[in-house]
Chain A
């Protein structure tokens, strides 16, 4: 007998069972790249056929921090900068849960920088997806630790003269076992990197270069979200295994993307388990 697809079923998006449809529409602006990161993540989960009951998403605060609220798994929207230690608590409390941190560049690298460094050092089994939009978006477009020189932001009204952070380099130096970077339009590659990162035991980091179509774009006159996404995509060069000290991002120049680190180190739980074995 032929399968009959009801009208309702036909309307359902493949991501429906992964998203909290009762919370739609979401808060993100049109052309924002955060949605791409969420789609890639959802796709990755689909590919891995994870048991969604055993998956937790933890976010900090920011536009990206809102991701926790839209993914239909146990999700925690915590405080600014504290997603990683909150996630650490969940992971240590119940090692059977796969814990993913999805948050912004400011949240993870600035206010939460210390936790990022130490969770990587301990090699806590977490996957961190860092949406880097070069700005503090949620608060209206202030300078971030990732803002390239000399981009304008509301708190660098004469252009930014500070040195920006290089997220993959920071992650590698601190001890992360898997580090990759893609732009928000590299959907397929990004998805596969997230799959790899989720499969990798230990602290894995995937950076997503993403347009903030509202603040970073407007003040720097970079067009709409799609223009920016295309710009990042067109200016990206795939260089797998590139030494992470080459990965600084200059203002509106090329962006090196790819998988840079994939190495083995015992995770925190493995080390602890071994230590107390006898």
Chain B
């Protein structure tokens, strides 16, 4: 389906990633934002609030992030495409209801403009340390989808992508930008509505009396209905069967009820299966020069742009390096990394944290290639030279497999006088 022209502010702009994300959400048809101000995400909520009345959308500044996320879940059940916008501490407050959203299979989007942490951290500066939290933050088993834009243009584009994925899979989608992207001002082109593909909500089409809320076909994603349409739903965060009724065990005995066969089986496995089994459809990455690469930089978000400098420099120096940029961070491209690990010497993983995605890369390489972490504590971005240094180290050492190696960055050399791991070893 094409975007509604009313929702699309077509034009060429010079705006930051926060504002671009808000415009992207509106273009995707988002009609409800429940939020709470927090640096560095506030500009996104402000931009949405300014535009909302013109496109029939609603913004409400809730009393806190616990309220924001809960209002989003309710609004989504009312049939509106919905989202919230936040950063680290607010994101932490939302975790319990992310789990509720996953369990109830509610489509919604969370825009997290990451700051550096932990705790209040450095509110005005960048970080990429919520990336594991985005997958594992709530209690229990579930899957989410996470996207990492690297520019304001991608903030616009990925906000639309986030809504499309949320609606397609009835799943929370995490838009994991970082402060750099959020506050960076660049050219953003908003195309005509006729060029924007949006996923409409997949409403149930069958007979009302035959509707079973969590019954699904091979697609694994049940069609949805909305509150107020007479389906008399019972929707709970308790583990439930396909009717939505609570279960205390995971029996799979079909029960005949009024001539209808009800599978009294937990729907929990589908919360992970609907993402894992559709991962090839979901996963997106950008690859550059991987054909002949001996070393592969795996990066996401703002760090990809810094890594690109190192990549170009290395190529100029004749080193066979390639780039793999994660567009969807979750689900993770396990298979692609495993395949590359068989033919490359190693992976270089720069990220603005002390090691998160690097362990995923190491896990997926099954001991076939080395993985170097280029860590960064946040508040700024990497020096391209550090990434270049890590590339050279892999080539020079040409070692047999060992555990994730931590590269000693210039920052650590000059300020911390040695890497953290070295210190621990001493």
Residues of A within 8 A of B (CB): 20, 22-23, 52-54, 56, 58, 68-69, 72-79, 81-82, 84-94, 96-97, 114-115, 117-118, 276
Among residues of B, the one whose C-beta sits closest to the C-beta of A111 is B66
The docked-state distance in angstroms from the alpha carbon of A74 to that of B76 is 14
Please determine whether A90 and B235 come into contact, CB atoms closer than 8 angstroms.
no
Residues of B contacting A92 with CB < 8 Å? 32, 58, 60, 71, 75, 78
The docked-state distance in angstroms from the alpha carbon of A161 to that of B101 is 38
Q: Which of B60, B228, B257 contacts A53 (CB 8 A)?
A: B228
Please determine whether A89 and B228 come into contact, CB atoms closer than 8 angstroms.
no
Interface members, chain B 214-250 (any A CB < 8 Å): 226-238, 245-246
Please determine whether A89 and B76 come into contact, CB atoms closer than 8 angstroms.
yes
Q: Which of A53, A75, A76, A89 contacts B230 (CB 8 A)?
A: A53
The docked-state distance in angstroms from the alpha carbon of A115 to that of B92 is 18
Please determine whether B77 and A93 come into contact, CB atoms closer than 8 angstroms.
yes
List 8 contacting pairs A-B, 8 Å CB cutoff, sorted by A: A74-B228, A74-B235, A75-B233, A88-B60, A92-B60, A93-B31, A93-B78, A93-B82
Please determine whether A85 and B66 come into contact, CB atoms closer than 8 angstroms.
yes
Q: How far is the CB of B278 from chain A (nearest CB, A)?
A: 27
| Among B76, B78, B97, B235, residue most surrounded by chain A Cβ atoms (within 10 Å) | B78
Please determine whether A77 and B238 come into contact, CB atoms closer than 8 angstroms.
yes
The docked-state distance in angstroms from the alpha carbon of A27 to that of B227 is 25
Q: Decide: A114 near B64, CB < 8 A? Known: A53-B230, A68-B234, A74-B233.
A: yes
Please determine whether B245 and A53 come into contact, CB atoms closer than 8 angstroms.
no
Residues of A contacting B335 with CB < 8 Å? none
Please determine whether B228 and A94 come into contact, CB atoms closer than 8 angstroms.
yes
Q: Which of B67, B74, B97, B237 contacts A93 (CB 8 A)?
A: B74
Within 8 Å of chain A (Cβ to Cβ): is B62?
yes
Please determine whether B78 and A87 come into contact, CB atoms closer than 8 angstroms.
no
Residues of A contacting B96 with CB < 8 Å? 79
Please determine whether A82 and B228 come into contact, CB atoms closer than 8 angstroms.
no
Among residues of B, the one whose C-beta sits closest to the C-beta of A124 is B60
Within 8 Å of chain A (Cβ to Cβ): is B70?
yes
Q: Mark B173-184, 1 if CB is under 8 A from A, else 0.
A: 000000000000
Please determine whether A90 and B66 come into contact, CB atoms closer than 8 angstroms.
no
Within 8 Å of chain A (Cβ to Cβ): is B117?
no
Residues of A contacting B63 with CB < 8 Å? 85, 114-115, 117-118
Residues of B contacting A276 with CB < 8 Å? 53
The docked-state distance in angstroms from the alpha carbon of A56 to that of B74 is 11
Please determine whether A118 and B67 come into contact, CB atoms closer than 8 angstroms.
yes
A-B pairs with the 9 shortest C-beta distances?
A89-B74, A93-B78, A53-B230, A85-B70, A89-B75, A89-B71, A77-B236, A85-B67, A93-B75
Within 8 Å of chain A (Cβ to Cβ): is B73?
yes
The docked-state distance in angstroms from the alpha carbon of A3 to that of B227 is 37
Within 8 Å of chain A (Cβ to Cβ): is B367?
no
Please determine whether B227 and A97 come into contact, CB atoms closer than 8 angstroms.
yes
Q: Mark B239-271, 1 if CB is under 8 A from A, else 0.
A: 000000110000000000100000000000000
Within 8 Å of chain A (Cβ to Cβ): is B80?
yes
Q: How far is the CB of A271 from chain B (nearest CB, A)?
A: 12
Q: How far is the CB of B381 from chain A (nearest CB, A)?
A: 36
Among residues of B, the one whose C-beta sits closest to the C-beta of A22 is B257
Q: How far is the CB of B180 from chain A (nearest CB, A)?
A: 31
Q: How far is the CB of A24 from chain B (nearest CB, A)?
A: 12
Within 8 Å of chain A (Cβ to Cβ): is B72?
yes
Residues of A contacting B66 with CB < 8 Å? 81-82, 85, 114-115
Within 8 Å of chain A (Cβ to Cβ): is B79?
yes
Please determine whether B78 and A90 come into contact, CB atoms closer than 8 angstroms.
yes
Q: Which of B64, B73, B231 contacts A86 (CB 8 A)?
A: B73
Q: How far is the CB of A137 from chain B (nearest CB, A)?
A: 17
Please determine whether A89 and B238 come into contact, CB atoms closer than 8 angstroms.
no
The docked-state distance in angstroms from the alpha carbon of A22 to that of B262 is 12
Please determine whether B228 and A54 come into contact, CB atoms closer than 8 angstroms.
yes
Residues of B contacting A73 with CB < 8 Å? 232
The docked-state distance in angstroms from the alpha carbon of A74 to that of B211 is 13
Residues of A contacting B32 with CB < 8 Å? 89, 92-93
Please determine whether B76 and A69 come into contact, CB atoms closer than 8 angstroms.
no
| Among A52, A68, A97, A117, residue most surrounded by chain B Cβ atoms (within 10 Å) | A97
The docked-state distance in angstroms from the alpha carbon of A84 to that of B63 is 12
Within 8 Å of chain A (Cβ to Cβ): is B282?
no
Q: Mark B32-70, 1 if CB is under 8 A from A, else 0.
A: 101000000000000000000100001010111011101
Residues of A contacting B122 with CB < 8 Å? none
Q: How far is the CB of B47 from chain A (nearest CB, A)?
A: 18
The docked-state distance in angstroms from the alpha carbon of A114 to that of B65 is 11
Q: Which of B72, B246, B257 contacts A89 (CB 8 A)?
A: B72
* Sample of 8 further A-B pairs with CB below 8 A, known A93-B58, A93-B80: A79-B70, A82-B70, A86-B73, A89-B76, A90-B227, A97-B227, A114-B64, A115-B67
Please determine whether B97 and A90 come into contact, CB atoms closer than 8 angstroms.
no
Please determine whether B75 and A77 come into contact, CB atoms closer than 8 angstroms.
no
The docked-state distance in angstroms from the alpha carbon of A54 to that of B231 is 10
Within 8 Å of chain A (Cβ to Cβ): is B100?
yes
Residues of A contacting B74 with CB < 8 Å? 58, 76, 85-91, 93
Residues of A contacting B82 with CB < 8 Å? 89, 93
Please determine whether A94 and B227 come into contact, CB atoms closer than 8 angstroms.
yes
Residues of A contacting B234 with CB < 8 Å? 20, 23, 68-69, 75, 77
Q: How far is the CB of B24 from chain A (nearest CB, A)?
A: 21
The docked-state distance in angstroms from the alpha carbon of A114 to that of B96 is 17
Please determine whether A85 and B230 come into contact, CB atoms closer than 8 angstroms.
no
